[in-house]
Amino acid sequence: MKIILNLSPNYSKKNRLKRDIKFVIIHYTGMQSEIESIKRLKNPKFKVSCHYLVNRKGKITQMVKDKNIAWHAGKSMWKQFKNLNKNSIGIELVNKGHQFGYQNFSYNQIKSLIKLCKNLKKKYSIKKEDFLGHSDIAPLRKTDPGEKFPWKKLSTHNIGNWYDEKKVANEESKIKKIEFLFFKNLKKLGYRYFNSQKKNIKNKLVIKSFQQRYLPKKITGKIDPKTYKISHFLTS
């Protein structure tokens, strides 16, 4: 794996230990071009940087050495860790981002990212679930790497969490079954005006009416397990 050095002066001079590195944080650059991104990441005025930048062709540039603390995470929190710069490697992916025309990440870019992440995972014993997006650790102010980032693909390489789609689909079918049974129970009780085959505002109002009577402290208009169980109890 070829890595080009183009070091930034923006980092904390104090070295950290290998065991301090517990996370990899993935960002997008959110700027018009790769050149602009590199200029900003190297400009002392902006006080931002990253350890690695991966461009759209898949070229990897190291901008801060792993042993140094790059300024990429900012105000952030994950598990018991706060302000994750000290405990993470920051990777920037060249992408215009939501502000300038959010792009799909390129095939070569993701291919290089996977290689880089595998290397970092092995080198620092980073757990699969500790590969994170900037928006995971700073959800109130950040949206990167965004909805087009292929977390599912990375998970097939044991990088980042993903869910069991079959199990989730089964759960969804259970929820639909509960909705059907709930409205069946309402019909038994005498409620009308709803359409159990179609979600609409009338259904929500009928659910709210039921909850106003039986769950006055939890009027959401949604069929949660307790709402369903009450309807089942009243009709069994």
* Residues annotated as part of the active site: 92
Instruction: List alpha helices for the chain, DSSP H.
Output: 34-42, 97-100, 107-124, 134-137, 151-155, 165-189, 201-214, 225-235
Cα separation of 175 and 184, whole Å? 14
215: closest CA among 230, 201, 205?
230
25: closest CA among 98, 79, 80, 93?
93
Residue type, position 42, single letter: K
Find all residues with CB under 8 Å of 212, minimum gap 6, and list them: 219
Cα separation of 27 and 85, whole Å? 13
Token pair for 75: 């105000």
Q: Which of 101-132 are b and which e, b meaning 16 or more Cβ less than 10 Å from the residue's Cβ? A: ebbebbeebbebbbebbeebbeebebeeebbb
